[in-house]
Each structure stands twice: as C-alpha cells, then as structure tokens.
Amino acid sequence: MINTEIAADADIGDGVIANEITQFTQINGEESDFTTTPDETYWGTVLVNKFDEDNEAGLGAAEFQIFRTEADADAQENPIAIDGETIFTTGEDGTLEIGALNAGEEQSRNYWLVETTAPAGYVVDETPRAIVITPGTSTATYEIPNTNNPTLNSH
C-alpha cells in the first residue's frame, strides 16, 4: 500500500507546491524515508461521476480504489491510501473527488481506478480504468455508467 497524507489545511490550488520535504513512503508494509529538496512538487485530483445509464441519475454509495500500476489494479492489491483511507465513496449525487495524488516530476502520471462496490441494485464494474493526474484540480471527469439490475433489487 502506498499512503499519501496531506495537511488538513492544504490547498493544492494549481497543483504546484514549492517546498522542501521529507517524504515517508510505505510500500507493502515497509516504511522508508528520504528527503528531497525539489523546487516544486506536483499534485492533482481525479473527479468521478457514477450514474444510471438509463436515466442519468447520480449513484451514491459506489466505492472505488486507486492503484499506481495496472497489475495492482487487475489484482486489486496495494491500493493507494490518502490520509489513511483506501476506499473512496461517491456522494448521493454520484460524484467523488479523489486526491491529492502525486503528478510526478513529469507533471502527468497514470493511475488506475477500480470500482470495488456497486450501489444497491447495480452490478460492480471491476474494469480498471486508466486515469491521468496532472497538477491542480481535475477539469476532466471520469464518467462511469451503470444499468440497474432488477433481479438484484428483489433479494
């Protein structure tokens, strides 16, 4: 698991943060630390919209995880944690903003988004979706449709 913690009062604004940091990274239970002195680090967010394909109503209570590699997403192993959380849930309107995620020195980094729990009456779509994180608040929304399955509502 990779864990990113952001200060409660942090505002990523345009995603460019001038700083000197000591970064503590935990991957698969092993913690390491290292100090970097970059002029800037780059952070971004991802926006998700989970909705009913038939009537376009937002679907709350859908749960997602973010992974750094496609292999981890396929296996659903080593999810990224943000402030200690690895599961991110859509609000009643079906929307969700996840971040801050490191956009890397290249200012564009791929992650993979996977739905892990579908709203009641819907089938989970475990297809890993490649997402691109760039500095700042995302202006692109990842649209994830779903169709109600009446047989799931009858149980």
CATH number at 104 reads 2.60.40.10
Task: Say if strands 16-18 and 40-52 run parallel, antiparallel, or are unpaired.
Answer: antiparallel
Close Cβ partners of 75 (under 8 Å, ≥ 6 residues apart): none
pLDDT score recorded for residue 155:
44
pLDDT score recorded for residue 107:
87
The list of the chain residues with pLDDT below 50 reads: 154-155
What's the domain count of the chain? 1
Report the SS3 class of residue 153.
Answer: helix
- Residues 14, 18, 21, 27, CA torsion sign: positive
The reported pTM is 0.76
Domain extent, residue 85, equals 2-153
Q: From the DSSP assignment, how many helices (H) and strands (E) are in the chain?
A: 2, 12
